Structure 1
Amino acid sequence: MDEGAPHDEGLKWFGEGFDGFPKRLPEDCVEYVIYVINEHFQDVAATRARLNAIFKKANEICRKHTAGYIWQRGEFDLKIRPTLSDQEAANGQKSSPQTPHLRGRTDFGDSIADEWLVVYLLLELSKQCPDAWIRVYDTDGEFLLIEAANALPKWLSPDVSESRVWINNGHLRIVPLDEGSRTRSLSLQDALTFVRKSPDKLIVSPFIEEEAFYRLRTYPGAIATSMHRALITVPRPLAYLLHRKPTYISPAIEAFYLRDPISLKPLATKDTATLHLPPEDFVTVSVKFTKVGYAQLRSQLFDTPPAWTGIIPRLSDSKVELGMKLACGFEMLLTDPQSQDKRVVREIKLLLNDIESGEEPLPSDVELASWPRDQDDEKWLDIDYRDFEHELSGKKGGNKTAEGGFGDQGAQDNLRKMVSRFEDFLNDDSAGVEGIDDGEVSDDDADEPDEEVSDLDSGEDRDAGYDDADFERAMKEMMGMPAEEVEKSGLLEEARRLALEDEQSGDEPDEDEEMKKVMELMEQELKGHDALRTKHDTHNGVDEDEDVGPGDEELSSDDEEFNDIDLGLAKNMLESFKGQAGLAGPAGNIMRALGINMPRDEGGEE
């Protein structure tokens, strides 16, 4: 290995003691780092002292805004890096030490609210510590830029965005491009150097900030509204645990939500003596959940464990059902071998041992009556599809939407106008390829089409945005044909070609003739794939002396063309459909495309 081989943070080469390849941030995690850039703190000791002060301020802000908050998995947590031992080791090896900084990582699981709470805490910290420069990123990278994608300059792509986005003094600051970094990401040290030397050249855009921090517009009020309180019926020891430390509920719900056959084994018993929280001595208490956790617990289908079968009649009560799920979640958490080293599991087991030994008395009914009985509305669990439609149409709360976007009022008016004109066209028997007229047209007017067409192009039709793409979408919706089927069939392109030929020739379209052309094209396509054979196709392997199938000579009609049925094709189609065994397949797809729904074969005679 060359001595000059580059190495990145998190990777040591074999000569230095291999410590693994560069580590990728785990899923559902947000990481944040804080550097101090202050001309008064140049040496390492002064920098670490300032970082300690920022650390204390961060903890103070966190306690202020997260009192009573329940994190889904990990909490907001900062540590000084490198540690003193790491710094001494680096000095002993005569290697360049890392710049002292604060670093933290929060595993937010399924709760996106936790990730944005971290961003809010960091933003508040930056306002109180102007010399703190903060980076925050997750598995997707610079997710603040993803939020602000519509307001970013074109050059700020994911390929060059690393280490360019910083939070400082309540603002989002972006390191601009220079000639040497157009094709690569900016290194951390280069970014810190730029911030120190050229802070006035950093990009600060109110439009980018508004988009990037849009989800924080309701904070800090949104912190409290992300919780849900509900009355549930649980065993008395569990009520004590949840009252003692409400944050125990998150790992228990996750154990229930992510259960597997191994974690369910301890519940497959009727001996309640083997359970940590047996189904007895029930009490009804108010429990605080995260909204994500409550939805996970409420939505899961869960078979009643054997030990709980005695209270099955009571499970019709939603409070008892939720209590059973929660108690089973705690049971799985406490018995899972992979969870035994977790601090929360050790704490719960110690408390249960104290209860069993009598050192911790359980709350009496009188004491339970003094506890809060809060219960929040569950309407947030319901999806109001009318509101959903309003969102899609841009009509939030009946207010007028801003210009542009999906809910643009002008776009809606144009769409209504286009559909109205198309419906009029379909309902007008006298309408031709030129469409319908708004009024009577005289022969003199018909001799001057150019001026009229020009007026239409510059007026109503242009405002309506009535182009080929709009017409195609309207056709698909009106005919009820799936978009992919229209594209696969090729009929749309053929229809355009025929219409263009008619327009160039100036003749009135003959519907029968056009249909015949389309049918001939379809027949040629089927013959090309050997899917359509007639008794005249001797060049495809059909013998002229082949026995005539039943019914081939018995058909009669005034027009024999419509009775020219290929029974071989029909038999092959039916056998192919039968071979599908009721599942999707080519035969069924073809028949459905022709508007024929074949019944399922129930195994009768052939």
Structure 2
Amino acid sequence: MSSSNVLKSVREDDFVEYFLFPSALDQNDVSLENCEPQLEGLRSEVIKLAEDYCQRYIWHRDGFKVVLRTGDLQQRLLIEASNMEEENVRLPPHLYGITHYGDNVQDEWFIVSLLLHLSRRVPGLVVRVVDSDGEFLLIEAAEHLPSWANPERCEGRVFICDGEIHLVGTKDQKDPFPMDRILLELKDESRTKWVVSNTIQSCIAERIRDFPNHIEDNHHRATLYVPVGVAAVLEENPQLISAAVLAFCNRDPIDLKVCRAMRYFPPENCVYVSAVFTKCLYAMLQHAQYLPDRRTGWSLPMPSDPNYKAHILGLKLACGFEILTSQAKSSASLETDKGWKHYFESLKAKGYFQENIEGSQEYTRLLGVAKDYYQQNCDSMKFTPKIGDEIITILNRNDYDAEELRKQGLELPTPDDDSWMNISAEELDEMLTKRYGTRKLFSLNGNTNSEEFTSMVNDFLEQKSEFDGVDQETAAAQLDLGPYKPVRPKRTKSKTKADTQPTSQLNQPIDFDPDAFGAHVKHLLDLVIPEDRWDSSDNSDMSDYAEEDYDRNIEEMSPTRTGRAVKNEIQTYMEQMDRELAQTTIGKSFETHISAQEGETRGEADDFDDIESFKPVNIDVNTLKNMMESYQAQIGGPGPAANLLGSMGLQIARASNGESSGSTQQTDV
């Protein structure tokens, strides 16, 4: 990471932002000093409710926290200098928070559950929550949104109030309301008109149904063999286990040097402890590959030993705590903090110090405010939090008893079974089906109407496709196939003498209609072989026209020969090709309208002498047959047939194991 982008790294994809607006605040009062005490009172109430709600939850990376934003010029410059807010929109006074959830997206939905809880407990609270994808609440219920609700039109319209999701605005409105009007709309008793449908509410409720009553379902308890210092830290603050796991899994070569020294957590004095992880943290620690340096002093049992898992997990966790503790020294002073230096330069570039002389009283005051703000929000700026300082504080107390911790390690609860990490393909399919549901099935078997299937394929191919996907409107498919009549463009000026003069048709402007042009191209490409009427003495005008046109084209193609001679030569050549192809695998691979018994009777005697017995190829049957053979060749994986059918909304189930690949099978689409 370059030094110029240190502060910009906050905008990763693993964050969720939330804005809490108190609707009871008088937005017409321009004196922001009056709103700060009210915001501080709201913040105290929110923090108390959040602590009660989150007391059993283990955060993967950042926890829930909010700060005051009064909206004055000084605070806006502090925020802009940290590059924490991309939108240059001035918002009313509110509480703001940002949480990085890392690899565990469950933290994001737990925050949604918490915000819904806060909106029920705090009267008049209006909440907006977004992530790197924007209005992710609507993304979760995308299949149930109205047709007009696209990402551009819904941006800035989704709010939480009274424990319900609100979509403020009408379908005819392109831009969202200003924030002050939105607060008035949601403060009014008629705000129920903005509540989304029950189906959308149910999608969100289903996503957060495990919170907060079933938080433990996502926990995993394990036994570890760790140094006594690690046992003391975990006993005082079990939440630090997530930071230690992340520090170990994200280690770099410098961190590996620290792990070889083990200055703070030497392996000479270790005890057994019972620790609680989230399933995500436990899986990360379990699958992280690491072998300690022999010079460090770690003594691991054989992998077949029952205590091997406790030893290797404790070793990894101890290395994570060692990495965190080693980082505390480098972050002890702002003078050596590179992040603070870049933040300070950004403040000066934005005119934060207002041309005050360095060292003056006002300059010193503004500098102190900036340092306090930086220290409070440096973790939101993506810098390493001061967890190492907290760990060192616990170690320096020296009030923990190693012998007591060893005795506690003799009576530990039974660790949880970690077989949940081993998932078969069938279990994964079942989980996906439970999560996303099943699609409507369409049966394809030996009795399937092939014409119906090919009709579905043709209908799909005739639909419009844009960057948003296939347009399901059928108006585009119903094009006029009549004669194309160019429309003369309307004149926008009055007629002059020059306008009335005759001009060449090539110089006339043309009003091009792409739909009509496409319709005529499609009409030309839809070639249909006319019905065979060799025995008919009555030749239609169309037949005469086709024969005359064919003869004329042959003559034009070969000016040195007579048209009749060339036509006979081409016909002879084509008949010879048909005879040769009929006896090959290519010719036999097509399905015709004749029955199988009739085909066997004819066998090799079919030399096309009897033109009356000729049966054309059944295009519908061959389309269906080739589609199924293509899907079987994919063995259930991605491919042309699966992609095409998936785009059409069809899902094909796998054949049973007892069926051969060549037999007729029961397939569900």
Q: Is the 8 A contact 1:73 1:109 kept in 2?
A: yes
- Give the C-alpha shift of residue 301 in structure 1: 1.0
CA distance in 2, matches of 1:115, 1:420: 48
| Aligned residue identity for 1:152 | L
List aligned pairs for 1:268-287, cutoff 5 A: 268-269=260-261, 275-287=263-275
Q: Is the 8 A contact 1:351 1:360 kept in 2?
A: no
Q: Which runs of no fewer than 5 residues in structure 2 stay unpaired? A: 1-5, 79-88, 333-384, 452-587, 600-617, 642-669
Q: What does residue 388 of structure 2 align with?
A: 345
- Give the C-alpha shift of residue 360 in structure 1: 4.2
Identify the match of residue 325 of structure 2 among 292, 312, 334. Answer: 334
Q: Is the 8 A contact 1:228 1:289 kept in 2?
A: yes
Q: What does residue 305 of structure 1 align with?
A: 293
Q: Is the 8 A contact 1:35 1:134 kept in 2?
A: yes
Q: What does residue 32 of structure 1 align with?
A: 18
Q: Is the 8 A contact 1:74 1:108 kept in 2?
A: yes
3-state SS of paired residue (2:299): helix
Deviations 1:561-583 (A, max 9, x none): xxxxxxxxxxxxxxxxxxxxxxx
Q: Is the 8 A contact 2:36 2:70 kept in 1?
A: no
Q: Is the 8 A contact 2:244 2:320 kept in 1?
A: yes
Deviations 1:229-255 (A, max 9, x none): 101111122111111111121111111
Deviations 1:183-222 (A, max 9, x none): x455534533544576354242111112233311222233
- Give the C-alpha shift of residue 41 in structure 1: 8.4
| Distance change >3 Å, CA 135–CA 339, structure 1 → 2 | farther
1:379 and 2:419 aligned = yes
| Aligned residue identity for 2:59 | W
Q: Which runs of no fewer than 5 residues in structure 1 stay unpaired? A: 1-19, 91-95, 422-429, 442-455, 488-606
CA distance in 1, matches of 2:428, 2:222: 26
1:204 and 2:196 aligned = yes
Deviations 1:265-298 (A, max 9, x none): 12345xxxx6211112221110111221111100
| Distance change >3 Å, CA 223–CA 420, structure 1 → 2 | farther
| Aligned residue identity for 1:55 | R
- Give the C-alpha shift of residue 477 in structure 1: 3.0
1:174 and 2:167 aligned = yes
| Distance change >3 Å, CA 223–CA 473, structure 1 → 2 | farther
| Aligned residue identity for 1:327 | A
361-370 vs 302-311, which deviates more? 361-370
- Give the C-alpha shift of residue 152 in structure 1: 0.9
- Give the C-alpha shift of residue 331 in structure 1: 1.5
| Aligned residue identity for 1:245 | N
Identify the match of residue 222 of structure 1 among 191, 207, 214. Answer: 214
Q: What does residue 122 of structure 1 align with?
A: 115
| Distance change >3 Å, CA 22–CA 377, structure 1 → 2 | closer
- Give the C-alpha shift of residue 170 in structure 1: 1.2
241-250 vs 204-213, which deviates more? 204-213
Identify the match of residue 312 of structure 2 among 311, 314, 321. Answer: 321
- Give the C-alpha shift of residue 158 in structure 1: 1.3
Tell me the TM-score normalised to structure 2 length. Answer: 0.54
Q: What does residue 73 of structure 1 align with?
A: 61
Q: Is the 8 A contact 1:87 1:97 kept in 2?
A: no
Q: Is the 8 A contact 2:161 2:186 kept in 1?
A: no
3-state SS of paired residue (2:402): coil
CA distance in 1, matches of 2:292, 2:410: 32
CA distance in 2, matches of 1:378, 1:82: 48
CA distance in 2, matches of 1:153, 1:50: 38
| Aligned residue identity for 1:252 | A
Deviations 1:392-423 (A, max 9, x none): 6x4x59xxx97xx43x3x43x447976999xx
What is the number of equivalent residue pairs in this alignment?
A: 417
| Distance change >3 Å, CA 484–CA 99, structure 1 → 2 | closer
CA distance in 2, matches of 1:343, 1:159: 39
Aligned residues: CA RMSD = 4.4
Q: What does residue 52 of structure 2 align with?
A: 64
CA distance in 1, matches of 2:266, 2:184: 61
| Distance change >3 Å, CA 467–CA 156, structure 1 → 2 | farther
| Distance change >3 Å, CA 212–CA 254, structure 1 → 2 | same
- Give the C-alpha shift of residue 74 in structure 1: 1.1
Q: What does residue 551 of structure 1 align with?
A: none
CA distance in 2, matches of 1:377, 1:268: 31
List aligned pairs for 1:386-405, cutoff 5 A: 386-391=426-431, 394=433, 405=438
CA distance in 2, matches of 1:416, 1:166: 53
List aligned pairs for 1:457-476, cutoff 5 A: 468=623, 471-476=625-630
1:295 and 2:288 aligned = no
3-state SS of paired residue (1:313): coil
List aligned pairs for 1:9-20, cutoff 5 A: none
Identify the match of residue 354 of structure 1 among 397, 412, 422. Answer: 397
3-state SS of paired residue (2:239): helix
Tell me the TM-score normalised to structure 1 length. Answer: 0.59
1:147 and 2:146 aligned = no
Q: What does residue 509 of structure 1 align with?
A: none
Q: What does residue 250 of structure 2 align with?
A: 258
- Give the C-alpha shift of residue 70 in structure 1: 1.8
| Aligned residue identity for 2:628 | A
Q: Is the 8 A contact 1:333 1:339 kept in 2?
A: no
| Aligned residue identity for 1:326 | L
Q: Is the 8 A contact 1:476 1:483 kept in 2?
A: no
CA distance in 2, matches of 1:87, 1:259: 35
| Distance change >3 Å, CA 130–CA 40, structure 1 → 2 | same
| Distance change >3 Å, CA 419–CA 163, structure 1 → 2 | same
3-state SS of paired residue (2:214): helix
3-state SS of paired residue (2:62): coil
Q: Is the 8 A contact 1:279 1:307 kept in 2?
A: no
Identify the match of residue 243 of structure 1 among 222, 235, 241. Answer: 235
144-153 vs 345-354, which deviates more? 345-354
| Aligned residue identity for 2:284 | Q
1:106 and 2:149 aligned = no
